[in-house]
DNA sequence: GTACTTATAGTATTTTTTACTTTAAGTATT
DNA sequence: AATACTTAAAGTAAAAAATACTATAAGTAC
């Protein structure tokens, strides 16, 4: 038991110890990008409840574990992916969201280049793979709701921060970048104007190399200049497409 | 006890029931506006821990209470304020953020016209009052961290959504609106251009009345046209200053 | 009526966005 | 090696938006 009931002198309805009964979990929404499609990483549950269903990458938090550590750990435990920057986006706390007991879950999301990360299912995950965001299976718990909120956050993030670059290989062409943003935001850009805008932002480092193995004129390759972006950000620059 | 330990078949370090030991709380960051200054509503704690310290408006969530209900309830319980739209902004989950036990807290924030809401302390709140955001007392727990994150969220929100109107009385002049935004965002607008921009947005309803009791030419009063805003939003309009 | 203060309208210039055109540079085909 | 084809990359003109500034109107205070 945690506290003597006399500790909190106030008007609680229950003995103070009866408040320390919540389960806490984290759920990761990992977005990827491949062949012009936005993907999300899911795992198949190998245990009850929802055994056999696909679900977001999540689990209960240890009593002595920081929230953000829990998110990173569960991602590695279930899929083998590590060193991925996870960003918290929302806490889901409906009384009935978990069929067995009161579990509040905190959602994290990330963007990665799905080519670079080959998930390997382990622990209770029977399998793990990328799903096209427009072709999802039925999900466990309220994971569909969480995913929708994650997509909303993604769009907001992508429009106001240069997060999108994380989905591309380190060296990319301007057209590849444009196609990525078109997929993420759901509308088209004028090619010429997109180039101009992004180049004038001064956050891309032009390389002397060109794309290879294309059956037409190869385009110049660029790198995202993170150092430069951080510097510009300090001066008040804000990315916006 | 919740589950038989056999229920979860997987590789948990502890018996499953030992995971259901979290305390959960909500904390409300209520922003107000008065005389060109941004205020935040705080309560003085009448019980341990941090007895006597000022703190955000928050408390433990009941085991059978939805997160958002908890936020609204605690606000009314401690200050008497109700029917205030609260928006979740972040969950704070460091292991050591609460000195006594593991408590994860979820932050909510809101904007109100501090003239309209006179907080009355009750329950364990010894007193409740508005503090200027630049002149804060020492706060209980990690509430200073939470408040800073709340301010960050506020600035983001204010710049991209017409939330700021909630801080003004229902009928206001354009200059009042401009001064509010200058206080919120921390920089000045050109008077003429500000008028033009906001009027062209078509989200203000011009009234036939004028400001009274001023010692100079009185300005026309306006109302925020929420209906119109919702309609425009649906068409893809996005507020931005 | 005069001085003063703020409201409100207007205008001219610059900057940015948008839509579109042209030219260049490569591959593939005959 | 000429031609067709594809995409890259640069340029340009018109429209729209942002900015800086001016002028006038409408009230109060004395």
CB neighbourhood size of B3 (10 A):
14
pLDDT at A7: 55
What percent of chain B clears pLDDT 70, i.e. is strictly above it?
95
* A48 and A73 Cβ atoms separated by less than 8 Å: no
List the alpha helices (DSSP H) in chain B: 67-79, 143-160, 174-185, 191-200, 226-234
> What does the radius of gyration of chain B's CA atoms come to, in whole angstroms?
22
Whole-angstrom distance between the N-terminal and C-terminal Cα of chain B? 54
Strand partners, B32: B39
Show which of A128, A143, A160 is a domain's final residue.
A160
* A65 shares a domain with A87: yes
Task: Please tell me whether residues B143 and B39 are part of one structural domain.
Answer: yes
| pLDDT (0 to 100) of residue A110 | 94
**Is the confidence at residue A186, as pLDDT, over 60?**
yes
Q: Which residue has the tokens 């704690």?
A: B45
Give A24's pLDDT tier (boundaries 50, 70, 90).
Answer: very high
Q: Which helix (H) or strand (E) holds A150?
A: helix A143-160
pLDDT at A10 > cutoff 70? no
Which residues on chain B are in Cβ contact (under 8 Å) with A47?
8-10
Judge: A60–B104 Cβ closer than 8 Å, yes or no.
no
Does A112 fall in a domain?
Answer: yes
* DSSP letter (8 states) at residue B67: H
Domain count for chain A, please give it.
2
* Pair (B146, B76) in one structural domain: yes
Residue A229: inside a domain = yes
Q: Are residues A96 and A133 in the same domain?
A: yes
CA dihedral B22, B23, B24, B28 (to 10 degrees): -150
Chain C bases closer than 7 A to any CB of the protein: 4-11, 17-21, 24-28
**Angstrom distance, B208 CA to D27 C1':** 16
Q: What percentage of chain A's residues is helix, strand, coil (to nearest 5)?
A: 30, 25, 45
**Once rounded to an integer, what is the mean pLDDT over residues B179-188?**
90
Chain A nearest-CA residue for B125: A10
**Residue B196's domain spans which residues?**
162-234
Q: Is residue B184 part of a domain?
A: yes
Is residue A141 domain-resident? yes
For residue range A191-231, what is the model confidence (pLDDT) as tens digits? 999 999 999 999 999 999 988 888 888 999 999 999 989 88
A64: closest chain B residue by CA = B95
A241 shares contact with chain B (CB less than 8 Å):
no
CB contact under 8 A, B93 and A106: yes
Chain B interface test: which of A93, A105, A187 (most B C-beta within 10 Å): A93
Global pTM value:
0.89
Confidence at B10, pLDDT banded by 50, 70, 90: low
User: Could you tell me which of A160, A142, A145, A150 has the C-alpha nearest to residue A39?
Assistant: A150
Q: Which nucleotides of D are covered by protein (CB under 7 A)?
A: 5-12, 18-22, 25-29
Q: Searching chain A, which residue's CA lies closest to the CA of residue B25?
A: A19
Residues counted in chain A: 241
Indicate whether A8 pLDDT > 60.
Answer: no
Q: Is the CB of A193 under 7 A from strand C?
A: yes
Q: Label residue B114 by pLDDT band (50, 70, 90).
A: low
Evaluate if the CB of A206 falls below 7 Å from strand C. no
Check which CATH number belongs to the domain holding A123 and give it. Answer: 3.90.79.10
Same domain, A139 and A113: yes
Residues A120-167 have pLDDT tens digits of 998 899 999 999 999 999 999 999 999 999 999 998 888 888 888 888
The domain boundary, picked from A160, A184, A202, lies at A160
A219: CATH: 1.10.10.10
Length of chain B: 241
Look at residues A160, A179, A194 and tell me which one is the last residue of a structural domain.
A160
* Average pLDDT, integer, range B213-232: 91
Interval A28-78: pLDDT, tens: 999 998 878 899 999 999 988 899 999 999 999 999 999 999 999 999 999
Specify whether A152 is located in the same domain as A46: yes
Q: B224 - beta bridge partners?
A: B204
Q: Is residue A11, in this structure, part of any structural domain at all?
A: no
Phi–psi pair at B200, nearest 5 degrees:
-70, -20
- Residues B71, B97: Cα–Cα separation, whole Å: 19
Of the pLDDT bands very low, low, confident and very high (cuts 50, 70, 90), residue B232 is: confident
Are A173 and A186 found together in one domain?
Answer: yes
Q: Is the pLDDT of residue B208 over 60?
A: yes
Nearest neighbour of B19 by CB, restricted to A3, A60, A106: A60
């Amino acid at each position: 038991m945690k506290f003597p009931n006399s500790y909190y002198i106030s008007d609680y309805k229950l003995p103070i110890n009866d408040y320390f009964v919540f389960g806490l979990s984290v759920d990761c929404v990992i977005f990827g990008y491949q062949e012009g499609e936005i993907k999300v990483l899911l795992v198949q549950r190998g245990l009850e409840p929802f055994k056999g269903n696909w679900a977001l990458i999540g689990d209960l938090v240890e009593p002595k574990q920081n929230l953000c550590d829990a998110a990173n750990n569960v991602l590695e435990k279930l899929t083998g992916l590590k060193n991925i920057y996870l960003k918290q986006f929302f806490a889901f706390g409906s009384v009935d969201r978990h069929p067995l007991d009161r579990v509040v879950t905190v959602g994290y999301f990330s963007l990665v280049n799905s080519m670079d990360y080959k998930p390997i299912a382990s622990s209770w995950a029977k399998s793990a793979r990328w799903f096209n965001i427009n072709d999802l299976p039925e999900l466990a718990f309220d994971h569909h709701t969480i995913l929708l909120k994650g997509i909303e956050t993604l769009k907001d993030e992508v429009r106001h921060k240069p997060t999108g670059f994380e989905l591309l290989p380190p060296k990319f062409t301007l057209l590849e970048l444009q196609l990525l943003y078109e997929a993420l935001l759901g509308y088209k850009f004028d090619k010429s104007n997109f180039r101009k805008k992004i180049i004038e932002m001064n956050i891309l480092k032009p390389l002397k190399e060109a794309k290879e193995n294309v059956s037409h004129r190869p385009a110049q390759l660029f790198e995202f200049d993170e150092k430069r972006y951080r510097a510009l950000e300090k001066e008040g620059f804000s990315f916006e497409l």
